[in-house]
Structure 1
Amino acid sequence: MASHRRPKQPTHRYTGILTVTAAAAVAVSTQPASADPLPDPNKKGVQAQIDRLYEQATQATETYNGAKEKADALQRQVGVFQDEAARKQGELNELRDRLGTVATGQYRSGGLDPSLQLLLSQDPDGYLEKASALDRIGERQSALLKDFLSQQRALQQHRQEAGRKLKDLDSTQRDLRGRKTEIQGKLREAQQLLNTLSAKERSRIAAEQDRANRAGARAELGDQASASQRAAAAFRAAQGRVGKPYVWGAAGPDSFDCSGLTSWAFRQAGISLPRTSQAQAGVGARLDSLGDLRPGDLIIMRTDLSHVGFYAGNGQILHSPKPGAQVRYESIARSGMPFMWGVRLS
């Protein structure tokens, strides 16, 4: 896929209630500045703390995404086991009815010892035929009983497995809630620090972020082709999301976190990726050198593998970087995140 200068795409501001804390870096607060003077007169220390909190929030988001993916999988498994248990119960009910019918028939036809019945019978040949039929009924009842007991054991196993999955799901959901609280706490702390700045300083930060978003809507990418058609298709899908806001835990189509963008884009190309950057780092062919990357390859950032984006060509990454930012192009060298390796999917 040839790739040339990208036309400037319209940016979008995100004002949803759910992510008001995530937009803190571009929001101008109306709250008064703190009465306590900060030691750094230029407030650079505060901004560095805010940036660090956003980084911690994005790292925690990938952990949250992993827990969410596990919870969703467990929920599906619980549903399967519960449905299977319900089906087994229905089969058992049918077997129980059939066993009851056979038992009732035998009870009604019983009474005398078979040898006396034969002795007193006025039609020995007819009796012997009936006795043979009763033996066959007994064999059928025995087979039904064995089938019933087997189905009963299978039902118990499904119920036990569903119970174990439900326990795992409950534990995972508690972890999920804890991660969510952690992320919201980081973003809330960042907002509180932002509120300590003067209106002028907050306006300057907002303007810088706005400039970064506008500049990141376009980039000189060169004309290097993608390694495969599906990688090219995924990259084109991601390019169509430039200007969409970063929202933690979001996977499109109108907002994204970092791994949400890559997993959504590859899904448009018919490839299912794991939800987290750490898991995405382990799929496909690993590329250790930036020089080996081609547009559409995944690029894994940070030593804990907590950030992922698309290699866009000419030393650029296309990604959803952090709270307050939008999906944009950015120089890898200037992103502030160390490159770990690339991943190529065929």
Structure 2
Amino acid sequence: MGKRRKPSPPSRARLAVLTTAAAGTAVLASSTTAYAAPKPDLATVKKQVDALYEEAEASIERFNGADERAKKLQAEANQLQTQLAEGQEKLNAVQGQLGALAAAQYRNGGVDPSLQLMLSSDPDTYLRQASARDQEADTQLALLRQAQRQQQRLDQQRAETAATLAALDANHKALAEEKGKVQTKLAEAKKILNSLTAAERAQVDVDEAGRASRGAAERTDLTGLPQVPADGRAAAVLKFAQAQLGKPYIWGAEGPAGFDCSGLTLRAWEQAGVRLPRVSQDQWNAGTRIPRANLQPGDLVFFYSDLHHVGIYIGNNKMIHAPRTGKNVTVLDLQYMPDYMGAVRPG
């Protein structure tokens, strides 16, 4: 019986093949595990989408604030630059007058003007010319002082203009940054929604508190709504707001084609002769705080701790508001809106 031959150790090449195969198997297993990871349930997806839309709306109000400040700064810069140009023209005119006086004195040089007058054979001429000489000196002094004051004003205007333009530049950068945040959040939400089937998207793409499943709590028609007051400020506000029902939410918009939340309230209250601030947080300070039990049609109602959403109360615990991107101006029962913070009656 022959001896059993011991198996020879695998060659380096064979070891390499075995190692590569094992690594490939591990990667495949890992990849399979990754693809087999459970898909987030619709409630989780919905929460993610709602959070992104809410963050986007908060950024939209910050964008609106920066945009409003940009408009004011640009108007200030334009006015300062106009004043600067006018001031430079005035200074140029004064300097021209001084130059003319200096040239006249140069032409009369050689003999001191006062001595020339004293040697005159006509005393009356001497007195008249002496008086004229004093007036010329007074005029020259006045012009010098005027030029000095004008130069000081110009220096101050230049400094103010430079500061305003610097603030405008910084504000434009903040505006662009906030716009980028809005676009990023909206793109993320859209990407999540686009990854769903049509049926899943229909289930998820409902109003933020599950309102669609609660029996048409949000609507764009006028049937069954509280009656609009016959006259007064509230009548003007509600008439305008109801006329916007069904128009799309457009971030940064104040109408007429669409609105964001504070753009709608701003335009509605304009109909009553009240110019509200552009941003919802500033609208919070644009009137008298009203307890919820004392709400009246036309009052502004605010939501979320940072006050980034605002609507118009219309009665019967309902409001008209511009909800968010992808939605239209609608009527909504307040009970379906989260984080009610309070109400303001503009005045």
Bucket of the pairwise TM-score, normalised by the shorter protein: 0.7 to 0.9
Q: Secondary structure at the match of 2:326?
A: coil
Q: Which has the larger radius of gyration?
A: 2
**Cross-structure match for 2:269:** 266
Larger mean Cα displacement after TM superposition, 170-179 or 230-239: 230-239
**Cross-structure match for 2:99:** 100
Report 1 or 2 for greater relative contact order, CA contacts < 8 Å, sequence distance ≥ 6: 1
Aligned counterpart in structure 1 of residue 225 of structure 2, from 221, 224, 247: 221
2:86 aligned partner, one-letter code: R
**Cross-structure match for 2:333:** 331
Deviation of residue 236 (structure 1)?
A: 1.3
Q: Is the 8 A contact 1:257 1:321 kept in 2?
A: yes
1:64 aligned partner, one-letter code: F
Q: Is the 8 A contact 1:213 1:325 kept in 2?
A: no
Identity in percent: 42
Deviation of residue 106 (structure 1)?
A: 2.5
Deviation of residue 42 (structure 1)?
A: 4.5
**Cross-structure match for 2:26:** none
Q: Secondary structure at the match of 1:259?
A: helix
**Cross-structure match for 1:134:** 133
Could you state the TM-score of these two structures normalised by the residue count of structure 2?
A: 0.82
Structure-to-structure mapping, 1:2-13, within 5 angstroms: none
1:65 aligned partner, one-letter code: N
What is the distance in 2 between the residues matched to 1:115 and 1:77? Answer: 51
Structure-to-structure mapping, 1:190-205, within 5 angstroms: 190-205=189-204
- Residues 269-295 of structure 1, C-alpha deviation per residue, up to 9 Å, x if partnerless? 3211111110000111111x2221111
Q: Is the 8 A contact 1:216 1:330 kept in 2?
A: no
Aligned counterpart in structure 2 of residue 297 of structure 1, from 288, 296, 299: 299
Q: Is the 8 A contact 2:63 2:178 kept in 1?
A: yes
Q: Is the 8 A contact 2:117 2:130 kept in 1?
A: no
Q: Is the 8 A contact 1:78 1:162 kept in 2?
A: yes
Q: Secondary structure at the match of 2:335?
A: coil
Q: Is the 8 A contact 1:253 1:264 kept in 2?
A: no
Deviation of residue 122 (structure 1)?
A: 2.6
Relative to structure 1, is the Cα distance of residues 192 and 142 closer, same or farther in structure 2, using a 3 angstrom cutoff?
A: same
Deviation of residue 137 (structure 1)?
A: 0.6
2:289 aligned partner, one-letter code: R
What is the distance in 1 between the residues matched to 2:103 and 2:289? Answer: 70
Deviation of residue 206 (structure 1)?
A: 5.7
Q: Is the 8 A contact 1:121 1:127 kept in 2?
A: yes
What is the distance in 1 between the residues matched to 2:77 and 2:188? Answer: 37
**Cross-structure match for 2:236:** 233
Relative to structure 1, is the Cα distance of residues 169 and 247 closer, same or farther in structure 2, using a 3 angstrom cutoff?
A: same
Deviation of residue 163 (structure 1)?
A: 0.4
Alpha carbon RMSD of aligned pairs, Å? 2.4
Matched pairs, number: 309
What is the distance in 1 between the residues matched to 2:40 and 2:282? Answer: 43
Aligned counterpart in structure 2 of residue 243 of structure 1, from 241, 246, 255: 246
Structure-to-structure mapping, 1:121-200, within 5 angstroms: 121-200=120-199
Q: Would you say 1:54 and 2:53 are equivalent positions?
A: yes
What is the distance in 1 between the residues matched to 2:251 and 2:39? Answer: 30
2:286 aligned partner, one-letter code: V
Relative to structure 1, is the Cα distance of residues 339 and 119 closer, same or farther in structure 2, using a 3 angstrom cutoff?
A: closer
Q: Is the 8 A contact 1:262 1:308 kept in 2?
A: yes
**Cross-structure match for 1:283:** 286
Q: Secondary structure at the match of 2:314?
A: strand
Q: Is the 8 A contact 1:220 1:314 kept in 2?
A: no
What is the distance in 1 between the residues matched to 2:40 and 2:311? Answer: 36
Deviation of residue 131 (structure 1)?
A: 2.0
Q: Would you say 1:307 and 2:306 are equivalent positions?
A: no
Q: Secondary structure at the match of 1:333?
A: helix
What is the distance in 1 between the residues matched to 2:302 and 2:223? Answer: 20
Relative to structure 1, is the Cα distance of residues 298 and 204 closer, same or farther in structure 2, using a 3 angstrom cutoff?
A: same
Q: Which structure 1 residue ranges, 5 or more long, are not aligned?
A: 1-34
Relative to structure 1, is the Cα distance of residues 165 and 37 closer, same or farther in structure 2, using a 3 angstrom cutoff?
A: farther
2:219 aligned partner, one-letter code: A
What is the distance in 2 between the residues matched to 1:169 and 1:206? Answer: 39
Q: Secondary structure at the match of 2:313?
A: strand
Relative to structure 1, is the Cα distance of residues 274 and 145 closer, same or farther in structure 2, using a 3 angstrom cutoff?
A: same
What is the distance in 1 between the residues matched to 2:42 and 2:331? Answer: 28
Relative to structure 1, is the Cα distance of residues 38 and 268 closer, same or farther in structure 2, using a 3 angstrom cutoff?
A: farther
Relative to structure 1, is the Cα distance of residues 224 and 111 closer, same or farther in structure 2, using a 3 angstrom cutoff?
A: same
2:133 aligned partner, one-letter code: L
Relative to structure 1, is the Cα distance of residues 126 and 319 closer, same or farther in structure 2, using a 3 angstrom cutoff?
A: same
2:342 aligned partner, one-letter code: W
- Residues 40-64 of structure 1, C-alpha deviation per residue, up to 9 Å, x if partnerless? 5642211221111111111111111
